[in-house]
Amino acid sequence: MTLPEGTEFRAQMQAAKSVAEREQLRNEHHKAMQERAASRGITLPDQPPAGGQGMGPGSGMMGQGGGMGAGKGRSQ
């Protein structure tokens, strides 16, 4: 998926008004990605990745050592 396609998909997911609407968007997107992959000789799983696995609100760098005080140059 291209960067603009990813940006558009994220915007659609964020604009969805319900869990059911997000699930429908996710399934439609996965089907389109399966078709694109098949045209390139690649097989994707039958089911899209579970919802909530991507970068969403609150899933920034804090859990990955990127929080305050992390990194080099910190005074001891």
In this structure, of 3-7, 12-16, 43-47, 62-66, the range with the lowest mean pLDDT score is: 62-66
Mean pLDDT of the chain: 79
When pLDDT is averaged across residues 15-31 and rounded to a whole number, the result is 94
What integer pLDDT is reported at residue 76 of this predicted model?
52
- pLDDT confidence band for 49 (50 / 70 / 90): confident
Model confidence at 24, in pLDDT bands (50, 70, 90)?
very high
Written as one string, the DSSP assignment of 3-69 is HHHHHHHHHHHHH--SHHHHHHHHHHHHHHHHHHHHHTT----SSPPPTT-S--TT-SGGGGT-STT
